[in-house]
Chains A and B, each alone.
Chain A
Amino acid sequence: MNLSSDHIDDQTAAYILATRTYFEDLKQVAAQLAGLLVLSAAGSKSTVPLQPIEELYRNAADGLKSVRVTNRARRHHESLQTALAKLGDALSSAKGTADPLIPLESAYADLRSASRALPGFEMVSFDYCCCHAK
């Protein structure tokens, strides 16, 4: 994790370390929900159960309540909270009749904003793939 940029103070570094897991959880919720939707829309025989996705979501929601937010991390945290709310909407919609895709795409955009707000939050791992030239 690159913490050298943008003058990250100790408290914000602690915030980054504490929040990274929940950021990853939310990313995974979004990714799994997207997978569920694409398999369904494509008429696939494969299925994705919703329950593990909801557990992951609850874990992130509970965890984010307890992190200590610094001024430097405020914008990041707001993006995460917004993504959390929209993913909650998307999950509710997936169980009902509304379209989960709209809140899902919006939540993913918020996660992307969060990833830009502080170092140490990657949206995609490019390690090991055919661009990783180091």
Chain B
Amino acid sequence: MQNNYSIWVTEFANVPNYPLSGLIYGAHNQGHVRLPYCYVVIKGHGHIAMVDVGYNHKEYGQVLAGMYGVRDWHPPREVLAEIGITPEDVSRIFLTHAHFDHMGNIEDFPKATFYIQERELSKWVWAMSLERRFRWLMAGVDPADIMRTVALARDKRLVCVDGDREDVLPGIDIHAAPDTHTWGSMYVRLRNDLSPNSKNTWIFAGDLVYMQENLRGYKPEDPEYIPIGFASGSQVNLVMTTEELVKGVDGDISRVIAIHEDRLKDMFPSRLASNGVRVTELALADGEPSQVC
């Protein structure tokens, strides 16, 4: 199978005990799971791209650690060093949505151009204009992140996408998923052989999917789609988008990458570095050395 890109999922923090009901719709009183926080790194064709950038520990780390039990945060420089790159090497970043743990660290990537759905920004801005009793609509969004995107836009490093866009980089497509996890969520589809009808595809789902169960239910032999436990958009849209994701990888749901899925490390080759950073390797471009073996 021809690979034009190497792909790694890198873990930068985790919550040791996260309620399952937050991840799988209706899974009340069914216990807790470990919730990793990760971003995806894609290397090939002279580019290093990322899907999401995590959050900035120096502003919220103490609150998140103290109140919500988030642990083991590592800065991008430390995380990316585990696969031999620096934040300055990153040229493209796809922001799946505007939650703080996905777009809360854009300032650490000084040379990257960022892609986000225009709808994601404009609807957050609308939500900001509502009265305080509507503040649930702003959950997880840091206005400071929106402020930082002003500078990005002025530097021509912010691309607001309206809907789908093919070949943002060769073989890499952006797909809009409006009114799902958030108003303007999107996912990234990578065709690793660059073919339009590729059989070697990966989908990076952002928070459209948290766990394998969202893609196949509890009985793999009788699969069903179960939406995630937290969405400001429509559960119907989430279910229909899940169908899109599964079709986008020809039914091989192991190729729909959910960055909060703790079992990724068991599904693909993985390495836990001495500093606690975990690297999971999804694919290696021809000639690229493994970063986990």
Residues of A within 8 A of B (CB): 21, 24, 27-28, 30-32, 34-39, 41-44, 46, 48, 52, 101, 104-105, 108, 112, 123-134
Contacts and interface: CB of A to CB of B under 8 A. Distances in A.
Contacts of A28: 128-129, 132
A34 B143 contact: yes
B138 A125 contact: yes
Interface of B: 15, 17-19, 22, 32, 35, 59-60, 63-64, 67-70, 99-101, 118, 121-122, 124-126, 128-129, 132, 135-136, 138-144, 146-147, 149-151, 153-154, 158, 160, 207, 210, 230, 260
B33 to A, nearest CB: 10
Contact of B136 (A30, A128, A131): A128
A24 B260 CA distance: 31
A130 B146 contact: no
Given A24-B132, A34-B150, A132 B121 contact: no
Given A31-B143, A130-B140, A42 B118 contact: yes
A48 B154 contact: no
Q: Max chain A CB contacts within 10 Å: which of B17, B22, B124, B146?
A: B146
B133 to A, nearest CB: 11
A131 B122 CA distance: 24
Contacts of A133: 15, 17-19, 22, 32, 35, 68-69
A45 B17 CA distance: 42
Contacts of B135: 125
